[in-house]
Amino acid sequence: MFSSLEEYKKESYDDSERQMLQAMNQWLGDSEAKCRQKWQAAMTDILHQAAAVQQQAKQAGKSLPCRYLTCSLLYSSIYLEKPQVRVEFFGDEAWYSHAPWLTASIDVSELLVHWTPFVQQALAREGWIARYYSAAAIQRLFPKTIEKVVYLLTRHWHYWARELLLQGKLAELERPENFELSLGQYRGWQEPLYRTVPVQDIFLHGAKSLVAVDFRRCIYRGREIRQEDLTEARFWECRWETVQLEQVNLTDALFVGCRFYHVTFTDCCLAAVRFEDCQFYNCTFTGCNANPESKALPLVRLYPGARWQQCQWKKCVFDRCDLQWARFSDDWQDEVTLRECQLEQAGFIQVEQEAEDD
């Protein structure tokens, strides 16, 4: 029987919270297509509104760029059982703390599927000594739990935002070089979902970070790239010829319309990497780790499996790679060889791994 809030939290609340978050994470994954489509449709409408406001300002001789686009789960809306995400558009850093030039909202009431049963269980009198029970005291635990829900949403919305980018939904919005789309607390912490940073040279960047840099129509030929951190980097229509990538961190990287000729990937981290409409000719992946549950990844992050989508292949090899949870939408047939790769939960089309004694 519980006689204090600390005892209740340790022996009951923490377990209930963990189960709720695990169930919500599973639900977000299982319902990804439906949830993503709803959020993207709502965001697309809001982006159209923002572009219209910018156009009106331009006609009036004013500049109204979007430096920050913040999405915030309103805690009060959770308590009122009408969850919503507030979307705000800010100009520059001077505006950021107080003056969005456009505000909208997205209905996320689906969260109640898991939140409502959790609250009912948390506020139940069962297990309490009657004179020590206080619903108000238990409710003081909710803000920290909601904060964890918000962070969980950031991990899923991070990849849904990538879909907005791939579909060109952000193209209409006038935004500076250092634009940032984020999700988090209202007037509190925000986790970046998508950001743009100044362009860098992949070979001559000095000490400057290559994280989240966009590389467009670059040609890399006969070079070695070793131990670089290209997390969240985005490569658009780049050409790679006889390039060696060794121990390169490509976590969350995006490749769209790229061409790879005689490229080797050795001991690279490919967790959550995505190749979209790319071509691979005589390429080799050796000892690469694409497992989103790898112990080498930060424990506080959630990653999906690596994805190769609508790619073309010719005489390529995956040798001793961890491809657990990877997804391939391509028909490889006889063009790809897999040697001693880990393939649990991976999704392939017409691909057979070589026998170990071959």
Are 40 and 124 part of one and the same domain? yes
Q: Is 208 among the domain residues? A: no
Query: Which structural domain range is residue 122 located in?
Result: 5-195
Which candidate, 71, 300, 38, places its Cα nearest to that of 192?
71
Domain assignment present for residue 317? The answer is: yes
Cα separation of the two ends of the chain: 63
Per-10-residue mean pLDDT of the chain, 358 residues long, equals: 91 94 87 80 95 94 91 94 95 71 94 94 90 92 95 91 90 90 93 89 81 94 94 95 96 96 97 95 97 79 87 95 90 86 80 44
Query: Domain of 287: which CATH number?
Result: 2.160.20.80
| Same domain membership, residue 306 and residue 249 | yes
**Which strands make up the sheet holding 214-216, listed edge to edge?**
214-216, 234-236, 254-256, 274-276, 307-309, 327-328
Q: Which residues are registered as beta bridge partners of 308?
A: 275, 328
Q: At what angle do helices 32-59 and 142-166 cross, to 10 degrees?
A: 70
pLDDT at 330: 74
In one-letter notation, the amino acid at residue 34 is K
**Tokens coding 209:** 């970070």
User: For the chain, what is the domain count?
Assistant: 2
Tokens of 202: 């992949």
45 and 162 part of one domain: yes
Q: Is residue 357 part of a domain?
A: no
Give the three-state DSSP class for 151.
helix
- C-alpha span between 72 and 95 (Å, rounded): 17
Q: Report how far residue 149's alpha carbon sits from residue 239's, in angstroms, rounded to the nearest whole number.
A: 40
Measured distance CA(269)–CA(285) in Å, rounded: 11
Residues 254 and 154 in one domain: no
Q: 350 exposed, middle or buried (CB, 10 Å; 0-12, 13-18, 19+)? A: exposed
**pLDDT score at 177:** 84
Q: Residue 109 has what DSSP assignment?
A: G
Residue 246 located in a structural domain:
yes
Residue 320 within a domain: yes
Say how far apart CA 217 and CA 316 lie, in whole Å. 23
Domain boundary among 136, 162, 195: 195
- Single pTM value for the model: 0.85
Q: What SS3 class is residue 244? A: strand
